[in-house]
Amino acid sequence: MRPSDLVHLHLLLNHFPTVGMIVGFGVFLLALVKKSVDLRRGGLAVLFVIALLSLPTYMTGYSAQKSLKGMPGVSQGVIDLHQRSALMALIFMEATGVAAWYGLWYSRRRAWSHRGNTALVLLLGALTIGLMSSAANVGGEIRHPEILSGPEAIPATEGLLAPHWLASDFITKYQYSHPWAWKTLETIHFMGLCLLFGVVLVGNMRLLGWMRNAPLEGFHRMLPWGIWGFVANAVTGMMFFIGQAFQYIENPAFHWKMLCILLAGGNVLYLTWHDEVWDLGPGDAAPAFVKVLAASQIVLWVGVIYFGRMLPYLGDAF
């Protein structure tokens, strides 16, 4: 994908996190008022999907930033503020997505989620909407001269919701100047990947017919461990990305890796949401469609691992 395509992709996606978060949060609130389990699950699903879409939205922002560099009338200070604001919002957005997924997972065991998860989703959701709105407002001040003509200069500003330690330069300097930073991040990244792929492999092999006498309820209880593995991967992976953003964002292997992650996330949502997958008893065979999903889940995560390993060799970005 060409850099100009990534810029347009950012412009296409950048409204989804804010608007989608408001929609998902609104559906979740309506579910609480009406005490509707289906509405609640729908709201949680929307929040999870928006959390996934927020990843490419943030990442493609670096291509937009690069296209604006040196343009007359564009304030680099506002761009930097937007980057820090967006990263702060992304952190809370992903936390909301994890909490939303846990609510969906827990609802399989209980008709209604426990109060702690509901309160956490409400708190994180409200904070995320505020942070996303702030980041979107700062982004609007840039005025995107790549699609508009005659932009006026915007003075640089500072924000309490965009601390300096979220700046790309600060994160990059810390990773490469601290003797243990990179090594620790790599260790956590691979440990998280092993945990994630282990749960993916075992659970989906059961759906494909292996270990058929084992009840699926036991595999269902393993899913949060896989999510924690993904969280470890996401946090450390974002640190790697921010440290050398332009080496990643213009690498075709990275584009394929992110596509595999997004598709795998949608796959996980389906398998988490639909109860009939987990109602299979010992000895029961999964439906053909579920087997296709299980096989694709394994293939997608193998693709994530493969394209991640090929980053230094495909695209000559490293």
Tens-digit pLDDT profile for residues 46-85: 999 999 999 999 999 888 888 877 777 677 778 888 888 8
pLDDT at 32: 92
Lowest-confidence segment of 131-135, 155-159, 180-184, 258-262 by average pLDDT: 155-159
Q: Give the side-chain half-sphere CA count within 13 A for 266.
A: 8
Over residues 208-226, mean pLDDT: 84
pLDDT at 298: 95
Whether residue 316 is predicted with pLDDT greater than 70 in this model: the reply is no
The proportion of the chain whose per-residue pLDDT surpasses 70, expressed as a percent, equals: 89
pLDDT band at 147; cut points 50, 70, 90? very low
Higher pLDDT, 140 or 183: 183
Average pLDDT, the chain: 84
pLDDT at 150: 46
pLDDT at 156: 44
pLDDT at 77: 78
pLDDT at 22: 95
Give 111's contacts (C-beta < 8 A, 6+ positions apart): 37
Over residues 136-151, mean pLDDT: 61
